[in-house]
Structure 1
Amino acid sequence: MPSSAAEGTGPTTSRLTVDIRLQDRSVVVSPAGELDHDSVALLHERLADALANPDTDRLVVDCHDLRFCDSTGLNALIAARREAHDAGGALILAGLRPAVARIFEITGAHTVFDIRPDLASAVTR
């Protein structure tokens, strides 16, 4: 499962990168940068890859390097959570920065997600 990057505004920068890996029987998706309307397609793609992994039923989105998330990013995470739940699995968010956590609080989405303070606590079963 290789990393991917979205095209950014400059030739050597990208607004969002998304790594995906297996860790402690969990699929860990790690978005880094800014998640918005222009970059959400990459996250959709990587979440679909993670949800299709037959080796685990636990998806962890490690947000510690995510600096910004708008409503389109939030909607992508909500859709992935629903898909994981419908398939009998779980989606856990980890390491939300205050600016990102704020959108979850404002919208009330924090009440439907399992949010952990860090990756270590999210991959622990």
Structure 2
Amino acid sequence: MVPEAESERFTVAVETVDGAVVLTLAGELDHDTAQPLRDALDEALVPGRRLLVDMAGLGFCDSTGLNVLLNTRLAAQEAGAGLELAGLHGPVARMFRITGADGVFPVHADVTEALRTPHGEGA
């Protein structure tokens, strides 16, 4: 397990589970807190690797956080990797729904469901 990256309002923990790299987010993801997520995603992005972002502990995500994920999705596609989301809820799910971003990512109810689903398939 990789050590947790954190700020006062945001944390990202990284671990490998069943061959997937799971990034567990907690707190508020915004312009001031996005760098630890950028760094963790950049480090985890390896050709052919499945990245799963667990957003269940995320209480807030602004356009900066959304752009980090969208840019990583494009980089993952180019590298032959995958980026999937799990645990969208509340205001975070609403923001993804309103922007249409929930339609460009495979999205799962939670990490357990995601790990049972073949790589790249969303709920």
Q: TM-score, normalised by structure 1?
A: 0.88
Q: Letter of the 2:18 partner, please give it.
A: D
The equivalent of 2:89 in structure 1 is 97
Does 2:89 align with 1:88? Answer: no
From the CA coordinates, give the structure whose radius of gyration is larger.
1
CA distance in 2: counterparts of 1:29 and 1:123, whole angstroms: 13
Q: Look up the SS of the partner of 2:22 in the other structure.
A: strand
The equivalent of 1:75 in structure 2 is 67
CA distance in 1: counterparts of 2:113 and 2:82, whole angstroms: 14
CA distance in 2: counterparts of 1:98 and 1:16, whole angstroms: 17
Q: Letter of the 2:94 partner, please give it.
A: R
Q: Letter of the 1:35 partner, please give it.
A: L
Shift of 1:36: 0.3
The equivalent of 1:18 in structure 2 is 12
Aligned length: 116
Shift of 1:121: 1.3
| Contact 1:29/1:50 (<8 A) preserved | no
Q: Which runs of 4+ in 1 moved over 2 A?
A: none
Shift of 1:2: 1.2
CA distance in 1: counterparts of 2:6 and 2:12, whole angstroms: 6
CA RMSD after TM alignment: 1.2
Match of 1:49 among 43, 48, 55: 43
Q: TM-score, normalised by structure 2?
A: 0.89
Q: Letter of the 2:5 partner, please give it.
A: S
The equivalent of 2:57 in structure 1 is 65
CA distance in 2: counterparts of 1:75 and 1:64, whole angstroms: 18
Match of 1:110 among 102, 105, 118: 102
CA distance in 1: counterparts of 2:88 and 2:18, whole angstroms: 20
Structure 1: segments with no counterpart, 5+ residues? 7-13
CA distance in 1: counterparts of 2:22 and 2:97, whole angstroms: 23
Q: Letter of the 2:92 partner, please give it.
A: V
Shift of 1:49: 1.4
